[in-house]
Chain A
Amino acid sequence: MWDALQLEFMRNAVTAGLLVSLICGVLGTLVVVNRIVFISGGIAHAAYGGIGVALYFGVSPALGATVFSVVISMVMGVASIKSKERADTIIGVVWALGMALGIIFTELTPGYNVDLMSYLFGSILSVPGSDIWYMLSLNLVVLLFVFYFYKELVAMSYDEEFSFVVGIPVRALYFVLLGLISLSVVMIIRVVGLILVIALLTIPPFIAEKYTGSLGKMMVLASLLSMVFTLAGLWVSYQFNLASGATIIMVAGVGFFLSLAIDAVAARRRPR
């Protein structure tokens, strides 16, 4: 592994893994406590539409995915507010339409694009240096946002109605949050692919929530867990020559079930 770190692509992979973990811990926490996991999944999958369209017109797929997922996240945000009872249906439809659009446009694009698989399943080993800078700046923006609006985010996430009554701009915060999620999703796609985004966004916060007493601590622990999963997954995939994205998610999955098992054991001991 240490030899591997001599290689630039491996150094980039580790850096990207750490940066993505940080953002997954922080935003994933907000995704989990605000119960917007489904919307986040929708954004990630619909982003595929943007990738397809961008390929067809010969624009950077990352740019296509970014623009597309931001627009989609706003549409889904409006749907979730306007039509509360059927929001999940609408999100599911947009999710599928986005993917369908992507598939059709890639098919229309002359020549088969190998790069496509990397969007579905991630390619942490081929993250270029320019992406690292994008990840770094996005991390900065997300951290500043969360730091500045921390108490408002806590209040909104815990009790949206009360927060509205006391004059917090919950709508605005909600849409900014969705926007940041969609920007981050494009970045996380780089590492684990759009199909696996949800796992990395939700497993670490889910585990962290049980062992922390505040949203801030939950974010920190979720980020650390995410780093452990990502680096361990990367190492396993390197050792056994497995797909890196899928291996990272498998490691996170093991962590997930391990935490459930620990809970079960603890629960059995407690009543005595």
Chain B
Amino acid sequence: MEQALSQHAEPVASGPYAIEVERVCFSYEKTEVLKEVSFRLKQGEFLGIIGPNGGGKTTLVRLMLGLLRPDRGTIRILGMEPNAASRRVGYVPQSMDLSRAFPISVMEVALMGRLSRSGIGKRYTREDRKKARQALEKVGMWEHRHKHIGKLSGGQKQRVFIARALATDPELLFLDEPTASVDPEFQGSLYDILEELNKQVTIVVITHDIGVVSSYMKSIACVNKHFIFHEGSQITQEMIDIAYQCPVDLIAHGLPHRVLHSHEGE
């Protein structure tokens, strides 16, 4: 069986892989955040990344986006350097501590997603506006397009940032805790949107919501300095141990299916 992700160093063959990370190490100052991270993610995947706070999830995503450079190791995104691939990648950042006072409308923020497609120094085209409109409609924010972004609630704002990423028309989409400040009602519909989008787009989501991981995602990885991958959407005891470093009971509250293997004799 072909492995979607492999932990072993193999000759780099770009093409079918959306992400290739090889023996990447990264530290902030003297604190080691990621150690010897290696994996490959096939195109068309839907990967959920879980792990404790401070475990390096966001750092890993920032490395793959080219916002940070690894101390050692190599990263290839769609077969290219992360910075070169950035035009084909969409991104929904984690914390939205952007200025509330900044005078910018919902539509203008969504249009920012088109920046990688439109040339520098050019105005947004009709095509750009159409794409931004479609993206806003998808997340249910089109009617608010003229509103000042600072006047929106946290959840509404998050929807706009998701629309901005969708407007990019990405081949690979990163989302860093996209449902952190979103109302529960939108949470489900967001993952429905992503599931639909996943037919054409490779998606990587950082999340705390283990329930969501198992019901929507094709594979799961756990990051806590090390990177542990599990193909298929089941969370292993190994991941839980590494992620939370203490025994955790996973109880499936009315989830579509079990998260953990059944214990023998249960």
* A residues lining the B interface (CB < 8 Å): 33, 148-149, 151-152, 154-155, 157-159, 161-169, 209-210, 212-215, 217-218
Contact = CB atoms under 8 A, between A and B. Distances in A.
B60 to A, nearest CB: 15
A158 B102 contact: yes
Given A155-B115, A214-B105, A149 B120 contact: yes
9 contacts: A155-B112, A155-B115, A158-B112, A159-B93, A161-B93, A163-B115, A166-B115, A209-B101, A209-B102
B109 A158 contact: yes
Given A149-B120, A151-B123, A166 B103 contact: no
Interface residues of B, number: 31
B109 A166 contact: no
A152 B65 contact: no
B99 A154 contact: no
A167 B168 CA distance: 12
B121 A149 contact: yes
Interface stretch (B84-92, B230-238, B243-251): B84-92
B104 interface: yes
A74 B115 CA distance: 27
Contacts of B148: 213
Interface in B53-99: 65-67, 86-87, 89, 91, 93, 98-99
A154, A161, A162, A163 pick with most chain B CB within 10 angstroms: A162
Contacts of B121: 148-149, 152
A33 B105 contact: no
Interface of B: 65-67, 86-87, 89, 91, 93, 98-99, 101-105, 108-109, 111-113, 115-116, 118, 120-121, 123-124, 146, 148, 164, 168
Given A149-B121, A169-B120, A154 B67 contact: no
A155 B102 CA distance: 11
Contacts of A149: 120-121
B103 A215 contact: yes
Contact of B115 (A148, A167, A210, A213): A167
A214 B102 CA distance: 8
Contacts of A33: 99, 102
Contacts of B113: 166
B104 A215 contact: yes
A165 B99 contact: no
A217 B99 CA distance: 17
Contact of A214 (B86, B104, B120, B168): B104
Contact of A151 (B91, B102, B103, B124): B124
Nearest to A217: B103
Kindly name the residue among B93, B103, B112, B164 whose own CB sees the greatest number of chain A CB atoms within 10 A.
B103
Given A166-B116, A167-B86, A167-B116, 20 more contacts: A149-B121, A151-B115, A151-B118, A151-B123, A151-B124, A152-B120, A152-B121, A161-B93, A162-B91, A164-B66, A165-B65, A165-B67, A165-B91, A166-B115, A213-B103, A213-B105, A213-B146, A215-B103, A215-B104, A218-B103
